[in-house]
Amino acid sequence: MSFVLVQVIVGGLLLGAVYALFSSGLTLVWGMMNIVNFAHGDFVMLGMYVAYVVYTLLGGGPILGAPLATLVLATVGVVVYFALIRDIMKGPMLAQILGTFGLALLLRYSVFWWFGANFLSMPPNIVGGTYAFAGLRIEASRLLAGVVALLVTLGLHLLLTRTSLGSKMLAVAEDQTAAQLMGIRPDTMQAIAWAIAAGATGLAGALIANFFYIVPTVGETLGIVAFVTVSLGGFGSVPGALVAGLLIGVIESLSGYLIGAIYKDIVVYVLFLLFLWFRPQGLMGKM
């Protein structure tokens, strides 16, 4: 195997870990309450802007941006749940789709209005370097995002399967009325799910900001990949999103390098549709 090919695969794995990181929030919200959050890509965008503001305007350095973005977005998640999601969940499917879609545009153009349409970029910083390792080049910022992606996925998985909070959340997801009879408040559980999902998304945005450009429409570019990752991994499955993210990252990198970048989306989506044809519930989703 040629040396460049190894670099391509490593690059693909790191890219895939990032895909997994920003998809985990989406899959959690879907699994918990059957809502497809079309504003997801724009939550990533908000996370990027929080990190940017913390670093460049408030002088908080690159380390503070990630936890703050997590906190801010978790708050946004709770607000969005009580102000919008709780009510549209009772409505028809179309209202849910248009509701989160409207939210996406609201967030996008608010940031537009506030920051303008210019492309921004994080200043060079301590996570901006590149490691040369046995001839391979690995960006510190991507490696960090990859490691955090693994930790977040593991954390969310443990939370859902090993803690009483997780059991309560899953109980609400399974049967709201039954959960209520057991003394679990669905509202609280779902608000917590939104806080966790949006927080993870904000964290993803803050980490991605270190190696990507920042612009109000970046959610459009990244959002599509999140949806593909989640449906390939299986809606609602956090480990599924990780495996799917890595898979898509590597397939994209390999096909982009071997066949050509303009064909890589064709390869990814043909494989994606074929896979869903045979296994519509995704890699690890339940029917």
Partner 1 sequence: MRLKHVTGLLCAAAMSLVLASGARAQDKVVKIGAILPMSGGTASIGAHAKAALEVAMDIINNAHPELGNLPLAKNAGLSGLGGAKIEIVFADNQGNPATGQNQALRLITEDKAAALFGSYQSGVTLTSSAIAEKYGIPFLNSESVAANLTERGFKWFFRTTPIATDFAKAYVDFLADIKAQGAKTDAIALVHDNTEYGTSVANTISAAFKDKGQAIAIDVAYPVNATDLQGQVLQLKEKKPDVIIMISYTSDAILFAKTMQSLDYKPPVLLADDAGYSDPSFIKAVGKISQGVFNRSSWAVGPFGSPSAIIADMYKKKSGEEMDDTVGRQMQGFFVLADAIDRAGSTDPAKIQAALKATDLKPEQLMMGYKGVKFDDKGQNVLASGLIIQLQDGENYTAVWPKANAEKAPVLPYKGW
- CA atoms of 151 and 22, how far apart (whole Å): 13
Number of H helices, E strands in the chain: 12, 2
Smallest distance, partner 1 to C-beta of residue 284, A: 24
Helix axes 164-174, 140-162, angle to 10 degrees: 80
Residue placing its CB nearer to partner 1 in the complex, 82 or 213: 213
CB 148 within 8 A of CB 127: no
Find the shortest distance in angstroms from Cβ 283 to partner 1: 21
Distance of closest approach, residue 252 Cβ to partner 1, in angstroms = 7
Report the residue number, 105 or 182, with the smaller CB distance to partner 1: 105
The tokens describing 68, both together, are 């703050």
Nearer to partner 1, 130 or 188 (CB): 130
72 or 127: CB nearest partner 1: 127
State which residue, 191 or 228, has the beta carbon closest to partner 1.
228
Closest CB to partner 1 among 137 and 279? 137
Smallest separation (angstroms) from partner 1 to the CB of 130 = 5
With beta carbons less than 8 A apart as the criterion, state whether 50 and 69 touch: yes
DSSP 124-184: S-GGG-EEEETTEEEEHHHHHHHHHHHHHHHHHHHHHHHSHHHHHHHHHHH-HHHHHHTT-
Smallest gap from residue 224 Cβ to partner 1 (A): 9
Residues that bind partner 1 (CB under 8 A): 4, 7-8, 11-12, 15, 109, 112, 116-121, 124, 130, 132, 137, 139, 142, 211-213, 215-217, 220-222, 225, 252-253, 256-257, 260-262, 264-265
CA distance 17 to 246: 6
Nearer to partner 1, 49 or 211 (CB): 211
Least spacing, CB of residue 27 vs partner 1, in Å: 19
Name, in order, each residue with C-beta under 8 angstroms of 266's C-beta and a sequence gap of 6 or more.
none
By the 10 Å C-beta count (0-12 exposed, 13-18 middle, 19+ buried), 98 is classed as middle
Query: What's the gap between Cα 107 and its chain centre?
Result: 16
CB of 21 to partner 1, least distance (A): 13
